[in-house]
Chains A and B, each alone.
Chain A
Amino acid sequence: MNELIYNFAVWLDDTTYSAMLHESYYMYNWVESTHVLTLMVSLGMLFLIDLRMLGYAFPDVPASKIAERLNVPMLIGFTVMFVTGILLFYAVPVRSSQSVWFRIKMVLLVACAVNAFLFHKRMNESVSTWDVEARAPDRIRFGAWLSLGFWSIVVICGRFIAYDWLDCVRDQPAFIEFLAGCLDGQTRF
């Protein structure tokens, strides 16, 4: 599996546009800046929704209203982040695919998606009974805490990708090499 990922990353790395994107100082920085600054739209809205469920924001506004109205800008933000995230991966595919932080981030993004699906499902099933209350029921609040926790760790991992502490190019403990998917004799990093 790791070999397959590595070969795919090397193939991406060899494409002209990957090199162009990586070597273009302004283009790469614009894409990365857009990825980071869109946090203000996507996570900003998500935080407001989660904080509403926890009773720390808009306690006097129905929870369903906050969730519905802020959902659209939040999804627009996540779409932009997704597209720019793919471009960032495309610019540095080999190193990114063998980054422990990137791998943890991807797993957590799946966890975030599952949590969001369950959160909305549970909310839609029961919201009529607690919509105007300042705090949502325990199950919904648990989902909101999970969402805040997962996304915070996603941002931490995203930030840590920039550092080379655990890169395959350095000597790493066997456990880290296993997590990162480092290959014996690999020539590209």
Chain B
Amino acid sequence: MFTSMLGPHTRTILTASVVGITLVFYFTLMSDAYAWSFPFFEWMETTWFGVIGKTWGAAFAFVQTIHLLSLALLGGTVLAAEGRVLGFLLTDVSSKIVIDRCHVLLVWALVILISTGVFMACGVALKVYYLPVFWYKMLALGAGILFHFYVRRPLLRFDLEEINPMIVKMTALASILVWFMVAATGRWIGFSG
């Protein structure tokens, strides 16, 4: 009922609200939240995931590999879908089919990526707590998920021909960039600390 009051641009308004609230939170309460979250990260290391991750290096490395493989799948789906939108890949296949089929795979990849990511974070919780690049990755991941489900998905439900081509191209480029940022910051965690 509340969402119906917002009219046809519900998702856009909600996304803008979430982004606005996040920015306000970041600039006012972030330092407090950073301190408050410390016990949570301490607790993460005491969980089963944390203990396994810290005790068995091979288990940690194996989960890291699954994380990488799901990242590869996510990257493949993003590049295939955005390549179609930008007009350099699978141009002789309907854009709607490519976008929809890639979306299903992207969701699967994202679920595996987040599950394995939680396991890995538990194993090195206190290390990542002090790493700025970890927080950049979390911001990038949050931005990627919000962008994908609340900006790109609703927009590309329309026929591409009905949308301003510049907006379509900017959306595709933004999608590639945001997921690349997620991957690159993740890689950089390995080099830090």
A104 within 8 A of B: no
Residues of A within 8 A of B187 (CB): 33, 36-37
- The interface residues of chain A, by DSSP majority, are classed as helix
Residues of B within 8 A of A61 (CB): 90, 93, 97-98, 101
Q: Do residues A70 and B80 form an inter-chain contact, with CB atoms below 8 A?
A: yes
Residues of A within 8 A of B92 (CB): 65, 69
A127 within 8 A of B: no
Q: Do residues B61 and A159 form an inter-chain contact, with CB atoms below 8 A?
A: yes
- The interface residues of chain B, by DSSP majority, are classed as helix
Q: By CB atoms of chain B within 10 A, which of A40, A43, A162 has the most?
A: A40
Residues of A within 8 A of B112 (CB): none
Q: Do residues B57 and A163 form an inter-chain contact, with CB atoms below 8 A?
A: yes
B76 within 8 A of A: yes
Q: Do residues B76 and A69 form an inter-chain contact, with CB atoms below 8 A?
A: no
Cβ proximity bits A25-42 to B, threshold 8 Å, 1 near / 0 not: 000010001001101111
Minimum C-beta distance from A85 to chain B (A)? 15
CA of A65 to CA of B93, assembled, Å: 9
Q: Using known A-B contacts A33-B184, A47-B73, A159-B68, determine if residue A41 contacts B79 with beta carbons closer than 8 Å.
A: yes
A108 within 8 A of B: no
Q: By CB atoms of chain B within 10 A, which of A29, A36, A42, A165 has the most?
A: A36
CA of A33 to CA of B181, assembled, Å: 12
CA of A51 to CA of B101, assembled, Å: 12
Q: Do residues A48 and B77 form an inter-chain contact, with CB atoms below 8 A?
A: yes
Contact of B89 among A39, A60, A69, A162 (CB under 8 A): A69
Minimum C-beta distance from A185 to chain B (A)? 29
B72 within 8 A of A: yes
Q: By CB atoms of chain B within 10 A, which of A33, A47, A156 has the most?
A: A47
Cβ proximity bits A1-33 to B, threshold 8 Å, 1 near / 0 not: 000000000000000000000000000010001
A79 within 8 A of B: no
B69 within 8 A of A: yes
A130 within 8 A of B: no
Contact of A37 among B78, B97, B183 (CB under 8 A): B183
Minimum C-beta distance from A105 to chain B (A)? 12
Residues of A within 8 A of B77 (CB): 44, 48
Cβ proximity bits B90-121 to A, threshold 8 Å, 1 near / 0 not: 10110001100100010000000000000000
Cβ proximity bits A95-116 to B, threshold 8 Å, 1 near / 0 not: 0000000000000000000000
Q: Do residues A40 and B79 form an inter-chain contact, with CB atoms below 8 A?
A: yes
Residues of A within 8 A of B58 (CB): 160, 163, 165
Minimum C-beta distance from A54 to chain B (A)? 12
Minimum C-beta distance from B16 to chain A (A)? 29
4 nearest A-B residue pairs (beta carbon):
A40-B75, A44-B76, A43-B72, A44-B75
23 A-B Cβ contacts within 8 A?
A: A29-B191, A33-B184, A36-B68, A37-B184, A39-B75, A40-B75, A44-B78, A45-B80, A47-B72, A47-B73, A48-B80, A61-B90, A61-B98, A61-B101, A66-B90, A69-B92, A70-B80, A70-B89, A73-B83, A155-B65, A160-B61, A163-B57, A165-B58
